[in-house]
């Protein structure tokens, strides 16, 4: 598979990564442990070398699964995980998602030791602050991570869902390798300044939910409903009336896929990668056929005229509803 470097850091990863969260959290039904391990092995076989998890995903279970699955390939892959929640004193919101942030030095120390053990490794290749903690200066967080880098426990670090101002402050203390935030045809806010900031500073970008939580794949229609255990049931954009309006974007992507004789997923992922050479999306999946489909996006190319036309069309499409429940939205962009 094509490789990409995350900014100026020199960290080289597969052009398409694998977001592991959905294997154990947010989007049921979940695969069995064996199915998940086999899927991750298949991803490695297809050339995927970049895998993303977090300690908070299913409260340690996702990391443990990823650690077991990737142990045989440890020296072939780049593993990213995240810190930033007080896992010893978790507080959950109405959607049963954690809101108890903590990036205090002692919390980070506890987090790194746990992650290393669960991931069966002696180093974290890319360590993200999951959400910015407004109670701990980002300079202090960078200092703590810098000490972990010196100790060899962390090789690179990054931020998730941070503001441009916070990225700059963090980078001034300890060079940031990558920012992980949502970005897709479904959510384009990073184009409003963040991409320019990252390019200026030489920081890579790892978009999560690059398929718009599957809406860009064409899987949903006006009759689609989500069970209560599915996180999308809590998201305003996926509420029935909003989804009906938002399916215009899904229809557009499907039309593009027919024109280019490919699939909607490959259009959405290929479009993302065409924005900047240092963008590496991390779609998640639970099925081998969708994994193969996602990996095939590296073969999709767009001309400048095609990209300009797509931008013009997207600029005229209004997406109805916020991308997170109110409590979760408050934890982003700090």
**Active-site residue, selected from the candidate residues 27, 30, 57, 252:** 57
Between residues 330 and 14, the one the model is more confident about: 14
Token duo for residue 7:
């900014």
Rounded Cα distance between 327 and 155, Å, is 32
Judge whether residue 298 has pLDDT over 80.
Answer: yes
Token duo for residue 47:
């050339």
The string of pLDDT tens digits covering residues 309-320 is 999 999 999 999
Task: Over range 258-284, report the average pLDDT.
Answer: 98
The dihedral formed by the CA atoms of 241, 244, 245 and 247, expressed in degrees to the nearest 10: 150
Q: Give yes or no: 57 in active site.
A: yes
Out of 7-16, 191-200, 234-243, 325-334, least confident range: 325-334
Please give the CATH topology (third level) of the domain spanning 3-213+265-300.
Answer: TIM Barrel (3.20.20)
The string of pLDDT tens digits covering residues 84-109 is 999 988 787 766 677 789 999 999 99
Task: Over range 104-129, report the average pLDDT.
Answer: 98
Per the CB < 8 A criterion, the answer to whether 167 and 219 are in contact is no
Rounded Cα distance between 312 and 174, Å, is 38
Strands (E), 88-242: 124-129, 154-160, 178-182, 204-208
* Alpha-helical runs (H) found in 100-239: 105-118, 138-150, 164-173, 194-201
Residue 7: φ, ψ to 5°: 65, -145
Rounded Cα distance between 60 and 42, Å, is 23
Model pTM greater than 0.85?
yes
- Give residue 204's pLDDT band: very low, low, confident or very high (50, 70, 90): very high
Residue 272, SS3 per DSSP: helix
The string of pLDDT tens digits covering residues 19-46 is 999 999 999 999 999 999 999 999 999 9
- Give residue 328's pLDDT band: very low, low, confident or very high (50, 70, 90): confident
């Amino acid at each position: 598979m094509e490789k990409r470097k995350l900014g100026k850091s020199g960290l080289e990863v597969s052009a398409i990564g694998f977001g592991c969260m959905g294997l154990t959290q947010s989007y049921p039904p979940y695969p069995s442990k064996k199915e998940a391990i086999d899927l991750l092995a298949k991803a490695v076989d297809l050339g995927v070398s970049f895998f993303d998890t977090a300690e908070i995903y299913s409260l340690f279970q996702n990391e443990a699964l990823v650690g077991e699955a990737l142990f045989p390939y440890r020296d072939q892959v780049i593993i990213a995980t995240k810190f930033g929640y007080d896992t010893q004193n978790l507080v959950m919101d109405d959607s049963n998602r954690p809101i108890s942030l903590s990036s205090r030095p002692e919390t980070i120390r506890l987090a790194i030791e746990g992650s290393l053990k669960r991931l069966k490794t002696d180093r974290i290749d890319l360590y993200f602050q999951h959400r910015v903690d407004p109670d701990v200066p980002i300079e202090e967080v960078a200092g703590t991570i810098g000490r972990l880098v010196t100790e060899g426990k962390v090789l690179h670090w990054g931020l998730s869902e941070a503001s441009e101002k916070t990225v700059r402050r963090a980078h001034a203390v300890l060079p940031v390798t990558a920012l992980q935030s949502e970005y897709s045809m479904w959510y384009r806010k990073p184009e409003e300044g963040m991409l320019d900031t990252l390019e200026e500073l030489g920081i890579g970008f790892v978009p999560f939910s690059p398929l718009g939580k599957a809406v860009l794949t064409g899987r949903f229609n006006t009759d689609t409903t989500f069970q209560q255990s599915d996180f999308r049931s809590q998201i305003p954009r996926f509420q029935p009336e909003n989804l009906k309006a938002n399916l215009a974007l899904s229809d557009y992507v499907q039309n593009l896929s027919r024109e280019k004789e490919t699939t909607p997923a490959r259009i959405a992922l290929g479009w993302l990668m065409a924005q900047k050479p240092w963008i590496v999306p991390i779609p998640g999946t639970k099925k081998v056929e969708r994994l193969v489909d996602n990996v095939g996006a590296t073969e999709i190319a767009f001309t400048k005229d095609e990209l300009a036309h797509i931008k013009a069309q997207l600029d005229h499409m209004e997406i109805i509803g916020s991308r997170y429940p109110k409590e979760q939205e408050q934890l982003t962009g700090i």
